[in-house]
């Protein structure tokens, strides 16, 4: 099957501070799923909105080749009208049909997924929503389709945090497709290192709004925030433990960058590393038993790991290829980790599996940084520098790539939420 390349569409943002993001799929997978999604029967506006959202979500993954309705031989509206040979002759793998029921105060959408090659229906699902929330409905249906076909949980209904800079600094949150953008914090001073709590209800970040580095924890729904820790020296890179009870941080307590663990209940601070080199950018393993961090103790930035289950455990080096490996994060299934790797003079996003003795570069630009993995472990969003601008881009583990360049300002430090449903 032909790979999908250079598919362009617009994602309109609700806030004009950063204008809109343009989602450009620069490369798809070599063997995409061939899927026909028919316009759902029922309210025409809801149907049109949902159809566009579902198509955009699935196309963004780079794993789908979606057929236009006008190219199909038949347009069934329910299961009794499905003629499998009409779709098999077009080499279509899956068919999706649906029905919208709107009663004034609520909307329900029932959709069916058919496996054309097996000649049978493989899923019926019902999604509920409210009027004027069609985007959310579309995301939920997209996730159901994605999960049924790929076997992975969908991420269309997740969120992404990022920082924008355009005269001032803004901490933003948006849907995974860039829509529904909201400002969590606006400041004249830098905001760095946003990080989601494990339940994705709160976010930790470092703010310099008072002239001093402070870590705040902010509730996404209410906007209320609390001071987690402040320091007269520098603080950076807060990372939540999987149980949400601790933050690991980089602090300069004695003039040197070390990793500390902050107990969020009693605010006790425990020093984890003690070395004259810089130790920074910590992240927790999925079960919270280990912490990975970047250190210069070998003479160049490399990734190290500490086993928290062992008393007085010493850091173990886990990267050896190249003279720069940094900003590591564990895969959700704990089978490996993603990180920034320098190859010659280029900074690339790479992945290394624990059962392999080599790394796998996923990007090939000159300056890729700040990778963040989706909760299903299949997509990485990261920051890139291009033509003097800071942009967001993404890559799947299968090689599909997309970009999210802002028309105004600089976008950096993306962070992917967990599953929200």
Phi, psi for 229 (deg, rounded to 5): -165, 145
Distance CA 145, CA 224 (A): 36
Enter the tokens of residue 342.
């320098």
Helices then strands, each counted (H, E), the chain:
3, 31
User: pLDDT at residue 157 above 60?
Assistant: yes
Instruction: State whether residue 11 is helix, strand or coil.
Output: strand
pLDDT class of 5 with cuts at 50, 70, 90 = very low
Distance CA 99, CA 80 (A): 14
Across the beta sheet with 316-317, the strand order is 279-284, 290-295, 302-307, 316-317
pLDDT class of 421 with cuts at 50, 70, 90 = confident
224-237 pLDDT, tens digit per residue, is 999 999 877 789 99
For 32-150, CATH gives 3.40.50.10070
Per-residue pLDDT at 66: 96
172-201 pLDDT, tens digit per residue, is 998 998 888 889 999 999 999 999 999 999
Per-residue pLDDT at 10: 24
177 near 402, Cβ under 8 Å? no
User: pLDDT at residue 11 above 60?
Assistant: no
Q: Which residues contact 126 (CB under 8 A, 6 or more apart)?
A: 108, 109, 110
Per-residue pLDDT at 350: 96
Place of tokens 């209940």: 265
348 near 361, Cβ under 8 Å? yes
User: pLDDT at residue 288 above 80?
Assistant: yes
User: pLDDT at residue 14 above 50?
Assistant: no
pLDDT class of 50 with cuts at 50, 70, 90 = very high
326 near 292, Cβ under 8 Å? no
What share of the chain has pLDDT > 70, as a percent? 91
* Distance in angstroms between the alpha carbons of the first and the last residue of the chain: 34
Per-residue pLDDT at 388: 73
Task: State the chain's mean pLDDT as an integer.
Answer: 89
What distances in angstroms separate CA 23 from CA 176, 216, 397, 404, one per listed residue? Answer: 11, 31, 18, 5
107-141 pLDDT, tens digit per residue, is 999 999 999 999 999 999 999 998 888 999 999 99
- What residues form DSSP beta bridges with 389? 386
User: pLDDT at residue 335 above 80?
Assistant: yes
- DSSP one-letter string for 27-63: E--SS-EEEEEPPPBS-HHHHHHHHHHHHHHHHHTT-
Neighbours of 401 (CB within 10 A): 18
Distance CA 340, CA 346 (A): 10
Instruction: Please give the average per-residue pLDDT across 305-334, as a whole number.
Output: 95
Per-residue pLDDT at 42: 92
Distance CA 251, CA 281 (A): 11
- What residues form DSSP beta bridges with 172? 162, 183
| pTM more than 0.95 | no
In CATH, which superfamily holds the domain spanning 159-416?
TolB, C-terminal domain (2.120.10.30)
Please name which of 312, 311, 300, 374 lies closest in space to residue 338, comparing C-alpha atoms.
374
Per-residue pLDDT at 21: 45
Extents of the domains making up the chain = 32-150, 159-416
Instruction: Please give the average per-residue pLDDT across 299-307, as a whole number.
Output: 97
Per-residue pLDDT at 9: 23
203-258 pLDDT, tens digit per residue, is 999 999 988 899 999 999 999 999 999 877 789 999 999 999 999 999 988 888 99
- DSSP one-letter string for 298-347: TSS-EEEEEETTSTTPPPEE---SSS-EEEEEE-TTSSEEEEEEEETTEE
pLDDT class of 89 with cuts at 50, 70, 90 = very high
Per-residue pLDDT at 52: 94
Place of tokens 């004249």: 188
15-42 pLDDT, tens digit per residue, is 333 334 445 555 556 789 999 999 999 9
352-408 pLDDT, tens digit per residue, is 999 999 999 999 888 899 999 999 999 999 998 877 778 888 998 888 888 765 545
Instruction: State whether residue 148 is helix, strand or coil.
Output: helix
Phi, psi for 135 (deg, rounded to 5): -65, -40
């Amino acid at each position: 099957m032909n790979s999908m390349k250079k598919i362009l569409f617009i994602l309109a943002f609700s806030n004009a501070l950063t204008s809109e993001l343009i989602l450009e799929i620069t490369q798809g997978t070599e063997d995409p799923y061939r899927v026909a999604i028919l316009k759902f029967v029922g309210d025409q506006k809801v149907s049109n909105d949902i159809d566009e959202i579902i198509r955009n979500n699935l196309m963004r993954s780079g794993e789908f080749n979606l057929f236009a309705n006008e190219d199909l031989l038949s347009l069934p509206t329910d299961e009794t009208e499905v003629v499998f040979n009409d779709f098999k002759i077009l080499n279509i793998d899956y068919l999706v049909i649906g029905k919208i029921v709107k009663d004034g105060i609520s909307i329900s959408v029932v959709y069916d997924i058919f496996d054309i090659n097996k000649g049978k229906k493989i899923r019926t699902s019902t999604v509920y929503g409210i009027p004027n929330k069609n985007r959310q409905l579309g995301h939920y249906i997209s996730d159901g389709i994605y999960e049924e076909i790929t076997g992975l949980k969908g991420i269309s209904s997740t969120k992404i945090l990022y920082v924008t800079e355009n005269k001032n600094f803004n901490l933003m949150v948006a849907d995974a497709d860039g829509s529904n953008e909201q400002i969590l914090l606006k400041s004249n001073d830098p905001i760095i290192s946003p990080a989601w709590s494990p339940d994705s209800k709160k976010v930790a970040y470092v703010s310099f709004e008072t002239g001093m580095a402070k870590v705040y924890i902010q509730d996404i729904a209410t906007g209320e925030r609390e001071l987690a820790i402040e320091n007269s020296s520098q603080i950076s890179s807060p990372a939540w433990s999987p149980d949400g009870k601790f933050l690991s941080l980089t602090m300069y307590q004695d003039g040197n960058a070390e990793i500390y663990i902050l107990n969020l209940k009693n605010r006790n601070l425990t020093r984890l590393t003690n070395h004259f080199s810089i130790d920074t950018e910590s992240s927790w393993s999925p079960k919270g038993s280990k912490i990975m961090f970047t250190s210069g103790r070998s003479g160049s930035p490399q990734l190290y790991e500490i086993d928290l289950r062992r008393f007085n455990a010493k850091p173990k080096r886990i990267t050896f290829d190249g003279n720069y490996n940094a900003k590591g994060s564990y895969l959700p299934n704990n089978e490996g980790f993603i990180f920034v790797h320098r190859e010659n003079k280029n900074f690339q996003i790479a992945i290394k599996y624990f059962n392999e003795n080599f790394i796998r570069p996923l990007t090939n630009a000159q300056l890729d940084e700040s990778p963040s993995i989706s909760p299903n472990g299949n997509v990485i969003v990261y920051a890139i520098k291009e033509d003097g601008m800071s942009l967001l881009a993404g890559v799947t583990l299968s090689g599909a790539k997309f970009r999210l360049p802002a028309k105004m300002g600089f976008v950096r430090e993306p962070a992917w939420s967990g599953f929200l449903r």
